Chains A and B, each alone.
Chain A
Amino acid sequence: MPPAGGFEAIKYKRNLPFRGPSGVVILGGVTAVCAYGFYRLGLGNLERRELQREKTWSRIHLVPLLLAEADRDAYRRQQAALEREKEIMKDVPGWEAGKSVYNNPRYRPESSIMLL
């Protein structure tokens, strides 16, 4: 005879607990994170370009100022060197102080300097 209340139900179902999100969800998540990352990277690249532009222009604006100052110094040294050359070569007839060795009026910076 069966027990009171009948037999237990037969356990035939597989015991498969939930093991986290499925492959599609993980793949989708990774894709979404990567996409957002690349988007930010693109924005960052554009921004870096603008920062570079800002830096470059800040330097361009300062070029005339610094060049003017450097020019005055270079001119002072040039004139001093010329005077020195005149003083040293005053006994040599036919010597032109400060004359370029090139037959061309284009300006060339001194290729050598005298260290005092």
Chain B
Amino acid sequence: MSAFKDPSQSSNPYREPTPLPESVPKVEELGTTSAPLKSAAFFIGAYCKEYNEDFMLCKSENRDPGHCLKEGRRVTRCAQDLITKMRENCLAEFDKHWNCLEMNNQAYNKCRKVERPLNKCMFEKLGLLKTIPGSPEGQKPIHEVTNPIFTGVQK
């Protein structure tokens, strides 16, 4: 029979080959790695606000993974839509920014130089503005400060 094995000490990964049941509509996963996601995070937040909030409200109703599949698919489709649009409109800026994040420990403050053209492009072409909720009123938000204290070693 089976004995208890600690999953964290298992030599083989936790794999489950069975696909999703047919009753669940298919959605292609985003497949974007962490740096592009981090680069696009604020635009995802702006573009997919309704879907994201809907999904999180649904999750707060019930934590069951089966409960919010529909809302989850909408969230993923919206993010996919955004990433596609971003790549269509601001590919060069986007690539530069996420590559910079990749090389700089994913710290925003070290990539302001390449972030600004991306923000500008996103605002001009897609009308999406990067805003940080909760920033102090009457001050420049941190991503627009021209002479910050914390920068990279090389400016």
Pick the residue among B12, B65, B69 that contacts A115 (CB under 8 A).
B12
User: Contacts A72-B20, A113-B7; is A78 near B65 (CB within 8 Å)?
Assistant: yes
Provide the A39-80 mask, 1 if CB < 8 A to any CB of B, else 0: 010011001101101110111111111011111101111111
B33 within 8 A of A: no
Least Cβ–Cβ distance between A60 and chain B, in angstroms? 8
For this complex, 16 residue pairs linking A to B, each with C-beta atoms less than 8 Å apart, are A43-B149, A57-B45, A58-B108, A61-B52, A62-B37, A64-B51, A65-B30, A68-B68, A69-B29, A69-B30, A70-B65, A71-B68, A72-B20, A72-B65, A76-B19, A113-B7
Determine if B20 and A40 form an interchain contact, defined as CB atoms under 8 angstroms apart. Answer: no
Convert A20-52 into 0s and 1s, putting 1 for each residue whose CB lies closer than 8 angstroms to a CB of B: 000000000000000000001001100110110
| A68 engages B73 (CB within 8 Å) | yes
| Interface, chain A (partner B; CB < 8 A) | 40, 43-44, 47-48, 50-51, 53-55, 57-65, 67-72, 74-80, 83, 107, 109, 112-116
Which residue of chain B has its CB nearest to the CB of A81?
Answer: B16
The interface residues of chain B lying within 8 Å CB-to-CB of A62 are 37-38, 41, 44
**Majority-rule SS of B interface residues:** loop
Which residue of the partner chain B has the closest CB to A44? B149
- Chain B interface size, under 10 / 10 to 19 / 20 to 34 / 35 or more: 35 or more
| Closest CB pairs A-B (n = 6) | A68-B72, A61-B45, A80-B18, A50-B142, A107-B64, A58-B41
Contact of A59 with B41 at beta-carbon distance under 8 Å, contacts A113-B14, A115-B5 already known: yes
B14 close to A57 (CB less than 8 A): no
When distances are taken between beta carbons in the complex, the residues of chain B under 8 Å from A67 are 55, 59, 72
Please tell me if the beta carbons of B10 and A58 are within 8 angstroms of each other in the complex: no
